[in-house]
Amino acid sequence: MSTEERPTLDRDRLAETALKLIDRDGLAALSMRKLGAELGVEAMSLYHYVKNKDDLLDSVLDCLYSEVDVLPQGPGVAWEPAIRHGLRSLHEVLLRHPAAVELFSSRPARSQASIGKLFVSYQSFAAGGLEGLEAFQAFRFAVAYVLGHSATELGVLAQLKVDPSWSSSSMTDPALQQFLEQSAKVPGSEMFENGLDLVMSALRSAYNVPQS
């Protein structure tokens, strides 16, 4: 009751609130009903702003894209720092929102804003002297690295540990122990920067691109 400030709904407000709930409780826990409750409205009202739940998730993805900061090409903007800046920003967004990797990995960009942002960041690669397909391959390689690195940080290679109940001889191998320890105590962002260096050097040497 009373003056619950509810500054009129729109697609963006749904998206932001949904993302907030996803960050807090996980992607699987998001429901139209809970989102409605959070917005002080019945679930069915949401269908005025969003076609269905799938469309809602697309809007959340747009929200994530909008958080990525890319430097548009222009005079005084060197291509390599611009690329690094955009990739770092993407990495930060992916880590800030644990469900983001899942969303990026399963849904293509659909809105003008999101596709526009992809294009702007692609242009940094073209500015490096690469043309056409080469620029696209380089772009794709770089995005793949960031997405995949973030995925290993959150999934596959995260918190590996042997279950005490196994204890077959091969599982007490000291080399295995070392492998597991490394996966546990990774220096996080340092590893990301190392990989970023590898990406940039691979691009430079493969495509004969100027040093900066």
Partner DNA sequence: ACCTGAACACCGTTCAAGT
Residue 78: closest CA among 207, 205, 202, 200: 200
Q: Please list every residue from 142 through 171 that binds a second copy, using CB under 8 A.
A: 143-149, 151-152, 154-160, 162-163, 166, 168, 170-171
Choose the one of a second copy, DNA, none that binds residue 78, judging by a C-beta under 5 to 8 angstroms depending on kind.
Answer: none
Q: How many C-beta atoms lie closer than 10 Å to residue 208's C-beta?
A: 9
Supply the angle between the helices 112-127 and 79-96 in degrees, to the nearest 10: 140
Residue 22 interaction partner, one of DNA, a second copy, none, beta carbon < 5-8 Å per kind? none
Among a second copy, DNA, none, the one that 89 touches (CB under a kind-dependent 5 to 8 A) is none
Q: Between 14 and 43, how does the x/- string for binding to DNA read (CB under 7 A)?
A: ----------------xxxxx-x----xxx
Residue pair 134/83 in contact (Cβ under 8 Å)? The answer is: no
Is residue 199 close enough to count as binding a second copy by CB under 8 A?
Answer: yes
Nearer to DNA, 106 or 170 (CB): 106
In the complex, the residues that contact a second copy under the rule CB under 8 A are 101-102, 104-110, 112, 115-116, 118-119, 122-123, 126, 132-133, 136-137, 140-141, 143-149, 151-152, 154-160, 162-163, 166, 168, 170-171, 175-176, 178-180, 182-183, 186, 191, 194-195, 197-199, 201-203, 205-206
